Amino acid sequence: MKFIVQRQQLISSVQDVMKAISPRTAIPILTGMKIEAKADGIILTGSDSDISIESFIPAEEDGMINVEQIEEGSIVLQSRYFPDIVRKLPEKTVTIQTDENLNVTIQSGKAKFNLNGQDASEYPQLPRVQTDDSFEISSDLLKNLIRQTGFAVSTMETRPILTGVNIKIENETLSFTATDSHRLAARSIPLEGTRLDSSNIVVPGKSLNELSKILDDKGEKIEISVTNNQVLFRTKHLHFLSRLLDGNYPETSRLIPDQSQTVLHIKTKDLINTIDRASLLAKEERNNVVKLTTKENQLLQITSNSPDVGQAAEEVSIQSIEGEDLKISFSAKYMLDALKVIGNEDVRIEFTGAMRPFILKPVDDDSILQLILPVRTY
Amino acid sequence: MKFIVQRQQLISSVQDVMKAISPRTAIPILTGMKIEAKADGIILTGSDSDISIESFIPAEEDGMINVEQIEEGSIVLQSRYFPDIVRKLPEKTVTIQTDENLNVTIQSGKAKFNLNGQDASEYPQLPRVQTDDSFEISSDLLKNLIRQTGFAVSTMETRPILTGVNIKIENETLSFTATDSHRLAARSIPLEGTRLDSSNIVVPGKSLNELSKILDDKGEKIEISVTNNQVLFRTKHLHFLSRLLDGNYPETSRLIPDQSQTVLHIKTKDLINTIDRASLLAKEERNNVVKLTTKENQLLQITSNSPDVGQAAEEVSIQSIEGEDLKISFSAKYMLDALKVIGNEDVRIEFTGAMRPFILKPVDDDSILQLILPVRTY
């Protein structure tokens, strides 16, 4: 194998592929990165068996030459050193070459590295996703869907299914839902002209988090294909493959209250700042609790109390309040997580009493829904 | 005690004083911050008994009012929450007030915190440095002296005296020296018009490191006063007090070779980049070793070899070479540390054979000296 590649292209592909490589894995060769040179370009592959990422550097694209002097072949390189080497090489191009003893030479200007490679035929074959069940979405929209729901997955392995995000297609609507059973985050968008008219899968939160990191914000098209146990996210030069979680995702729609006793409209930023401050004194507790109390004159009071440390109290103006007066306690962390992804200047909060779950939505927009269970404080 | 203070002033003073406060300390009250209100301003104090920092906020300065409505008094506040509270308060001013039960109220706009304070009379009295043995230096110069030597102190407690920097005044010269017995870093500057004509102290490297973080780069004057067991660094609004290390600092001048067999002049940046790359393959070893070999045609070769991983080799051009050919191995980390503080485009390296310490200096400047012991590789 031999090729000369533009170093910037190689750096960016290596960075993407590294997201799938873990230094601790049951299959030793997966700590390495597979490099394949083909006539039309270079493919880098990384995998931790849950996630696999393939990045393609085309030999030529838009009239630009990325890879030259290609002699086909493949090798697996230790990923511990390769990214740093590529990043620190001195010149604009890098020559990578292997010999029959699996020695790899990496050269750029006067700098030359010899690394011991491994036989690429020992690298596990990635599953091929062959399906017509696919739909398209833009990368910035997908990143938003992940950002607005992914934080709410469970981090506990007691109910493994809750560590994933439930992705559903139904009635030309795509919805993402995550819950750790103390809170729930959901977002839905219309999906038109898809061949896939129904689908219901659970993707590990960790996979979506890594995917989000390597997607660009430029609105590139992503094709999402689903099979029994795998989902493939495919852009022009990137294949991101994740296993699915087994089992049925719980039916969450019945958790969402369909009536309310108290409805507030408030500036999202004001409420974030006030709760952030009130929660300072309770920061060592895992879910620091604050109390919200409705007051006269369109005011809310946010308070917290940590007997050893002291108290915090702050009043904040609301845009409007309808319904009954209310005192309710909740996790400041859950509330802040939810408020930060509302994505609207004004938030609508609907309460159904101090002991019932309450919901947050952007004002005049039902596509985002955040639900939080209150905390008993008596 | 009561006062109203400009929040930005308070934030910056609190930040400085926090550098001396450790959450783990044998004297519980030292986990807190002392706040004293006096007619002419506010004094904040933090201490871990090795380092003590006092920051003064004058009530009025350059016609600007920093503190208003002062009622004298003092209190000790838990430092775990206070900095975050001050940082996140909503308005430009903060009102701090205590009552007779040591309750502290911190208020800014509609946000109000009540914290439990501690009696300031229980806070240890800081030692007062009363001495005429003082000299002045500008803050940017002091920061440079610390940066160019402090990294070379020992991190091992086997010879405690080596964990400090030796600061000496002799013949109107101020010198800083640090060594961990594998390398040495020294810098000296002329010191004119000082009343202090000789001094020889050892200041903990950690103290100087913290001091360096809170000094500005604007060349503010710093007065340094020395007593038996303390050194005080004093700027207009800051007192930084550190204990000294007991014992005699070893005589280091005899370690420095006074002749050389091979002298190189080389671009500092070129050598940094080359050694940085060559050391990549050995990064898990504590002192990753690289080898330098002189070649024909004004070239140096830098190589490294990690049997499990591979080899790196690179040639780099030198400006000039005098004397004998040379092969020598050394810690890439020590070499990079030294090169990074040379502060000159060109570095002069003087070798006295493969098994003898070698020295680095800026070309045409003897005020900075870096010494490194080579590593045996056979």
Query: Do the Cβ atoms of A30 and A49 come closer than 8 Å?
Result: yes
SS3 letters for chain B? CEEEEEHHHHHHHHHHHHCCCCCCCCCHHHHEEEEEEECCEEEEEEECCCEEEEEEEECEECCEECEEEEECEEEEEECCCHHHHHHHCCCCEEEEEECCCCEEEEEECCEEEEEEEECHHHCCCCCCCCCCCEEEEEHHHHHHHHHHHHHHCCCCCCCHHHHEEEEEEECCEEEEEEECCCEEEEEEEECCCCCCCEEEEEEEHHHHHHHHHHCCCCCCEEEEEECCCEEEEECCCEEEEEECCCCCCCCCHHHCCCCCCEEEEEEHHHHHHHHHHHHHHHCCCCCCEEEEEEECCCEEEEEEEECCCEEEEEEEECCEEEECCCEEEEEHHHHHHHHHCCCCCEEEEEECCCCCCEEEEECCCCCEEEEECCCCCC
Helices (H) and strands (E) in chain A, counts: 6, 28
Chain A CB contacts of B281 below 8 Å: 81, 113, 115
Say yes or no to pLDDT of A286 above 60.
Answer: no
Pick B313's closest partner by Cβ from A112, A312, A314: A112
Pick A81's closest partner by Cβ from B89, B113, B281: B281
The pLDDT of residue B285 is 61
pLDDT bin (cut points 50, 70, 90) of residue A117 is: very high
Question: Which of B309, B316, B318 has the highest number of chain A CBs within 10 A, making it the mutation to test binding with A?
Answer: B309
Mean pLDDT of chain B: 93
Say yes or no to pLDDT of A342 above 60.
Answer: yes
Cβ–Cβ of A309/B85 closer than 8 Å?
no
Residues A44-71 have pLDDT tens digits of 999 998 999 999 999 999 999 999 999 9
A6–chain B nearest CA distance, Å: 19
Please name the residue of chain B whose CA is at the shortest distance from the CA of residue A112: B313
Chain A CB contacts of B277 below 8 Å: 85, 88-90, 111
Pick A115's closest partner by Cβ from B80, B273, B310: B310
Cβ–Cβ of B112/A277 closer than 8 Å?
no
Percent of chain A with pLDDT over 90: 83
Chain A CB contacts of B283 below 8 Å: 81, 84
If you average pLDDT over residues A300-323, what whole number do you get? 92
Mean pLDDT of chain A: 93
B80–chain A nearest CA distance, Å: 9
Chain B CB contacts of A90 below 8 Å: 273, 277
The pLDDT of residue B283 is 66
Residues of B with CB under 8 A from a CB of A: 78, 80-81, 84-85, 88-90, 103-104, 110-116, 273-274, 276-277, 280-281, 283, 308-316
How far is the C-alpha of B57 from the C-alpha of B342, rounded, in Å? 37
Pick B88's closest partner by Cβ from A110, A116, A276: A276
Say yes or no to pLDDT of A193 above 80.
Answer: no
The pLDDT of residue A285 is 61
Say yes or no to pLDDT of A367 above 60.
Answer: yes
Say yes or no to pLDDT of A378 above 60.
Answer: no
Pick A310's closest partner by Cβ from B84, B114, B308: B114
Question: Which of A270, A279, A304, A309 has the highest number of chain B CBs within 10 A, making it the mutation to test binding with B?
Answer: A309
Of A190-199, B86-95, B173-182, B267-276, give the lowest mean pLDDT range.
Answer: A190-199
Say yes or no to pLDDT of A217 above 90.
Answer: no
Residues A4-25 have pLDDT tens digits of 999 999 999 999 999 999 988 8
Chain B CB contacts of A313 below 8 Å: 112-113
How far is the C-alpha of B130 from the C-alpha of B232, rounded, in Å? 10
Please name the residue of chain A whose CA is at the shortest distance from the CA of residue B108: A314
Chain B CB contacts of A283 below 8 Å: 81, 84
Say yes or no to pLDDT of A35 above 70.
Answer: yes
Question: Which of A110, A275, A302 has the highest number of chain B CBs within 10 A, making it the mutation to test binding with B?
Answer: A110
A203–chain B nearest CA distance, Å: 35
Pick A113's closest partner by Cβ from B113, B116, B310: B310
Cβ–Cβ of B88/A310 closer than 8 Å?
no
* Token code pair at residue B195: 């009343």
Pick A314's closest partner by Cβ from B103, B110, B312: B110
Cβ–Cβ of B274/A111 closer than 8 Å?
yes
How far is the C-alpha of B102 from the C-alpha of B115, rounded, in Å? 9
Pick B309's closest partner by Cβ from A110, A116, A273: A116
DSSP string, A287-349: T-EEEEEEETTTEEEEEEEETTTEEEEEEEE-SEEEE---EEEEEHHHHHHHHHT--SSEEEE
Say yes or no to pLDDT of A190 above 60.
Answer: yes
Say yes or no to pLDDT of B286 above 90.
Answer: no
B166–chain A nearest CA distance, Å: 36
If you average pLDDT over residues A214-241, what whole number do you get? 92
Residues of A with CB under 8 A from a CB of B: 78, 80-81, 84-85, 88-90, 103-104, 110-116, 273-274, 276-277, 280-281, 283, 308-316
B282–chain A nearest CA distance, Å: 9
Pick B111's closest partner by Cβ from A85, A113, A314: A314
The pLDDT of residue A287 is 57
Cβ contacts of A305 within 8 Å, gap of 6 or more? A281, A291, A311
* Token code pair at residue A58: 């085309």
The pLDDT of residue B100 is 93
B67–chain A nearest CA distance, Å: 23
Chain A CB contacts of B115 below 8 Å: 281, 309-310
B75–chain A nearest CA distance, Å: 15
Pick B280's closest partner by Cβ from A88, A90, A312: A88
* Token code pair at residue B50: 């090795």
Of A245-254, B121-130, B366-375, give the lowest mean pLDDT range.
Answer: B121-130
Percent of chain B with pLDDT over 70: 98
* Token code pair at residue A354: 């101090």
Residues B188-234 have pLDDT tens digits of 999 877 777 788 999 999 999 999 999 988 889 999 999 888 999 99
Of A22-31, A275-284, B221-230, give the lowest mean pLDDT range.
Answer: A275-284
B14–chain A nearest CA distance, Å: 17
Pick B312's closest partner by Cβ from A113, A273, A283: A113
Query: Do the Cβ atoms of B366 and B375 come closer than 8 Å?
Result: no
Which domains occur in chain A, in start order?
2-122 (3.10.150.10), 134-253 (3.10.150.10), 256-372 (3.70.10.10)
The pLDDT of residue B307 is 81
Residues B340-362 have pLDDT tens digits of 999 999 999 999 999 999 999 99
How far is the C-alpha of A207 from the C-alpha of A186, rounded, in Å? 18
The pLDDT of residue A151 is 97
Cβ–Cβ of A311/B114 closer than 8 Å?
yes
Please name the residue of chain B whose CA is at the shortest distance from the CA of residue A83: B280
Please name the residue of chain B whose CA is at the shortest distance from the CA of residue A80: B281
If you average pLDDT over residues A208-233, what whole number do you get? 92
The pLDDT of residue A40 is 96
Alpha helices in chain A (DSSP H): 7-18, 82-88, 139-149, 205-214, 268-278, 332-340
